[in-house]
Amino acid sequence: MGRIVELQHPLVAHHLKELRDKNTSPWVFRDQIRRLTVFLAHEATGTLPLQGDTVETPLTTTDCETLGCRVGLVPILRAGLGMCPAVLDLLPQAEVWHLGFYRDETTFSPVEYYRKFSDSPPDVALVLDPMLATGGSACEGIGMVKNWGVKKIALLCIIAAPEGMAKVSDTHPDIDIFTCSIDERLNDKAYIVPGLGDAGDRMFNTL
């Protein structure tokens, strides 16, 4: 059974406040997405496997450890792109692959418009999507990553609605979900309440 991890940290609460504020500028919004993603990535990578290695220090040879797996980042376009730089700061050797969905405003269902995977899947995939609302895009994306052949997958989102969490957990019960906040609910337009608006529009200044 996958884990649901809602971060409990004073700095997460502090940065979320500015992210939610409707008056926050796009460039500050992007900075806050990056900062919060660092916390999520720290939690999500805590069980990555290690393998032994040795290095020459200025004084001697010593045993060390290094990552023992390939890690792929899968941002869900377009808003997921804003989470990539923070994870790459921690995992500069990670691969970056892409999935693109837009939301049908009548049915609220995801419509795929882009997919870029390789013939050789990584060992671990971190699916990046700032907002887990209905869970439709996340479920579709996770399913595609599974079909690609990835064995270990985690979903990282800045905020999540209970409805989206339930859908992902029901559809993919083996997936770990990491979020900074589980919000109250979805409204009748399937937006997260209290939420933070449209993350992609706020991030890329396209309101």
The span from the CA of 28 to the CA of 204, in Å, is: 11
Provide the pLDDT confidence category of residue 111 given band limits of 50, 70 and 90: confident
d(CA 14, CA 36): 10
Per residue in 43-73, pLDDT tens? 999 999 999 999 999 999 999 999 999 999 9
Give residue limits of the domains in the chain: 4-47+70-204
**Catalytic site positions:** 103, 107, 198, 201
Could you tell me if 137 and 101 are in contact, meaning their C-beta atoms sit under 8 angstroms apart? yes
Fold of 4-47+70-204: Rossmann fold (3.40.50)
94 has a pLDDT exceeding 90? yes
Cβ atoms of 150 and 125 closer than 8 Å? yes
The vertex-207 CA angle with 99 and 202, nearest 5°, equals: 60
**Contact 96/75 with Cβ under 8 angstroms?**
yes
Percent of the chain scoring above 90 in pLDDT: 85
The 10s digit of each residue's pLDDT in 156-196 is: 999 999 999 999 999 999 999 999 999 999 998 889 999 99
pTM, rounded to two decimals: 0.93
DSSP-assigned states of every residue in 65-106: EEE-S-EEEEEEETGGGGGHHHHHHH-TT-EE-EEEEEE-TT
